[in-house]
């Protein structure tokens, strides 16, 4: 054996020993690609078959993998197997985790009629643990590639039962602009550090589901139940603060779904006008539906709230409409403000709410503008019992609209909501907090898109027994507790972003997306 060959053999032996020591080529390899060696070990994969959610239109599976073929299952990598700096592919994030005793995996599957549409979050998030973590809390956030989105609260807090926790993201919930993944944090870290590196697991949002904001056509706020008589809850200060925030967010006008006052008092209306002036917002750009607390004096309501661009069918009509014209190439926006003119604050729920003449007027507007280049909104104060959003429990809140053949006006209003599904109806009345998860409904696609507003001054919630908590279980005080929506209208969609107006944080589970579409009806 010559000298050169001996040196070569020695080098080969040394290299072999070195490879064995470093573990190169095993599932723990740390290299620039990282994918093939990790995927070779089935012990490190959790496979969730989501082929039943396949989109036959574009052949993309409705799962958190954006590179899978039509029938390929989603693959979730245990987060403690990630190595910093590795490129794990489009559907994986690089999340170092030094807590080897806790191995967490997560998956995200989409569902509903918009499962293939960008920006629609409806679906199920599942978190699995290799150990029993009963009662351990996990925090779920929308995030970009680096960290949780700024100014967004958690989507949900999940409590583990055994080795699993699941969370259903509801109908219409929006994927925020710029979100590329879901991050899961444990109850030790969150919410102190919301960077990708500190997450215990992640789910990649497929590119075909991501949405990036384009220029919006208009922006308005949707609020309700200001109740300036709630001095003990700081109502005037909360209203002023909300308007100042809306102005800072370039909101063009404000839609109020009723209940500015207690009993239509002049003094409270004057306080209402003064708080608007103090905010710097223009009263001409605030539009109010008449609530049950304004029903005692329609003349006073008209005196303090009417505007020059409000079109009424007759003088001092409690119901009216406004038409916000879009720029060339954009849609117009029609707002129909209804009034429950057959009932009042002292009435029971067992009554009709709308006159035939008002419903004829509403139906004529719907026939006129449906099928045209117009988004149609209805603003009407009270919710409907057991129909749409606003009240989770039957009879938990007083004076809802009751569906009964005894009340033909109520029945006709519901039939219009079922006929004109492209309409968006905004209501109020119950003050139900945006955190209670009962503020959006389409009645499973059988009716209009229905949004329920909370309250500027007194968000309410449910007790564990299902009754109403007027202080939202201690969350509503003289300085805390104020909620509303900022609405952005785009060419193809309309997004209601729910805000905690005290903290100015976005409530992602109460932020909804709906298409902006035109439907021609046979009766138009």
Per-residue pLDDT, 346? 57
- pLDDT confidence bin for 184, thresholds 50/70/90: very high
Residues 6+ apart with CB under 8 A from 397: 390, 391, 429, 430, 432, 468
What does the alpha-carbon distance between residue 336 and residue 319 come to, in Å, rounded to a whole number? 8
Residues 6+ apart with CB under 8 A from 447: 387, 388, 414, 417, 418, 421, 441
Mean pLDDT is lowest, of 140-144, 294-298, 365-369, for 294-298
* Rg of the chain taking only CA atoms, in angstroms: 27
What are the tokens at 289?
A: 């539906």
**Mean pLDDT within 303-331:** 95
**Per DSSP, what are the bridge partners of residue 140?**
156, 184
In the chain, ranges of CATH 3.60.21.10 domains:
218-515
Q: Report which of residues 198 and 29 the model is more confident about.
A: 198
Per-residue pLDDT, 32? 29
pLDDT of 7 over the 80 cut = no
Per-residue pLDDT, 460? 96
What does the alpha-carbon distance between residue 361 and residue 355 come to, in Å, rounded to a whole number? 10
> Which H or E element spans position 278?
helix 266-279
- Span 504-521, pLDDT tens digits: 999 999 999 999 998 888
Per-residue pLDDT, 164? 94
- Span 408-424, pLDDT tens digits: 999 999 999 999 999 99
Burial letters 273-288, b for 16+ CB under 10 A, else e: eebbeebebeeebbbb
Burial (CB < 10 A; 0-12, 13-18, 19+), residue 379, is buried
- Span 206-261, pLDDT tens digits: 999 999 999 999 999 999 999 999 999 999 999 999 999 999 999 999 999 999 98
Per-residue pLDDT, 347? 67
Do 424 and 361 contact (CB within 8 A), yes or no?
no
pTM over 0.85: no
Which residue stretches of 280-427 are H helix?
Answer: 298-305, 356-369, 408-419
CB-CB neighbours of 128 under 10 Å: 21
Average pLDDT, the chain: 82
What spatial distance separates the first Cα and last Cα of the chain, rounded to whole Å? 98
- pLDDT confidence bin for 524, thresholds 50/70/90: low
Do 433 and 471 contact (CB within 8 A), yes or no?
no
- pLDDT confidence bin for 135, thresholds 50/70/90: confident
- pLDDT confidence bin for 188, thresholds 50/70/90: low
**Mean pLDDT within 110-130:** 96
Mean pLDDT is lowest, of 102-111, 287-296, 451-460, 466-475, for 287-296
- pLDDT confidence bin for 66, thresholds 50/70/90: very low
**Per DSSP, what are the bridge partners of residue 254?**
221, 286
Per-residue pLDDT, 100? 37
Mean pLDDT is lowest, of 9-13, 197-201, 329-333, 406-410, for 9-13
- 218-515: which CATH architecture? 4-Layer Sandwich (3.60)
Percent of the chain with pLDDT over 70: 78
Per-residue pLDDT, 154? 96
């Amino acid at each position: 054996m010559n000298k050169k060959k001996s040196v070569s053999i020695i080098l080969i032996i040394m290299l072999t020993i070195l490879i064995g020591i470093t573990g190169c080529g095993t599932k723990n390899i740390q290299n620039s690609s990282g994918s093939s060696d990790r995927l070779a070990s089935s012990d490190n994969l959790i496979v969730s078959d989501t082929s039943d959610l396949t989109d036959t239109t574009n052949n993309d599976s409705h799962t958190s993998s954006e590179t899978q073929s039509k029938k390929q299952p989603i693959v979730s990598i245990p987060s403690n197997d990630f190595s910093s700096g590795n490129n794990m592919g489009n559907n994986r994030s690089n999340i170092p985790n030094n807590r080897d005793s806790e191995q967490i995996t997560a998956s995200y599957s989409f569902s509903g009629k918009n499962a293939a549409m960008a920006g629609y979050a409806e679906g199920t998030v599942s978190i699995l643990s290799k150990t029993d973590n009963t009662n351990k809390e996990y925090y779920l956030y929308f995030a970009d590639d680096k960290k949780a989105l700024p100014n967004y609260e958690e989507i949900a807090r999940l409590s583990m039962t055994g080795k699993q926790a699941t969370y259903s993201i509801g109908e219409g919930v929006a994927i925020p602009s710029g979100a590329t993944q879901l991050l899961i944090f444990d109850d030790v870290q969150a919410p102190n550090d919301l960077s990708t590196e500190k997450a215990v697991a992640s789910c990649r949002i497929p590119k075909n589901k991501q949405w990036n904001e384009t220029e919006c056509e208009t922006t308005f706020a949707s609020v309700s139940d200001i109740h300036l008589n709630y001095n003990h809850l700081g109502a005037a200060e909360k209203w002023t603060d909300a308007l100042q925030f809306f102005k800072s967010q370039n909101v063009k006008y404000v839609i109020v779904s009723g209940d500015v006052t207690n009993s239509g008092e002049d003094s409270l209306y004057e306080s209402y006008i003064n708080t608007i002036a103090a905010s710097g917002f223009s009263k001409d750009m605030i539009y109010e539906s008449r609530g049950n607390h304004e029903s005692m004096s329609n003349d006073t309501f008209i005196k303090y709230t009417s505007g020059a661009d409000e079109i009424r069918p007759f003088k001092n009509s409690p119901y009216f409409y406004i038409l916000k014209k879009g720029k060339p190439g954009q849609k117009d926006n029609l707002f129909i403000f209804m009034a429950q003119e057959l009932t009042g604050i002292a009435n029971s729920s067992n009554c009709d709410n709308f006159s035939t003449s008002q419903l004829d007027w509403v139906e004529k507007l719907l026939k006129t503008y449906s099928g045209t280049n117009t988004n149609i909104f209805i603003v009407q104060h009270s919710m409907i019992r057991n129909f749409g959003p606003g009240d989770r429990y039957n009879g938990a809140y007083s004076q809802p609209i009751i569906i009964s053949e005894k009340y033909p006006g109520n029945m006709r209003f519901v039939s219009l909501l079922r006929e004109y599904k492209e309409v968006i109806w905004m209501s109020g009345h119950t003050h139900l907090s945006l955190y209670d998860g009962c503020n959006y409904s389409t009645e499973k696609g059988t009716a209009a898109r229905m949004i329920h507003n909370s309250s500027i001054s007194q968000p309410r919630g449910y007790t564990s027994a299902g009754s109403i908590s007027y202080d939202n279980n201690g969350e509503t005080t003289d300085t805390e507790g104020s909620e509303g929506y900022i609405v952005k209208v785009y060419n193809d969609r309309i997004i209601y972003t729910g805000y905690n107006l005290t903290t100015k944080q976005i409530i992602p589970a109460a932020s909804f997306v709906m298409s902006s579409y035109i439907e021609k009806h046979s009766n138009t």
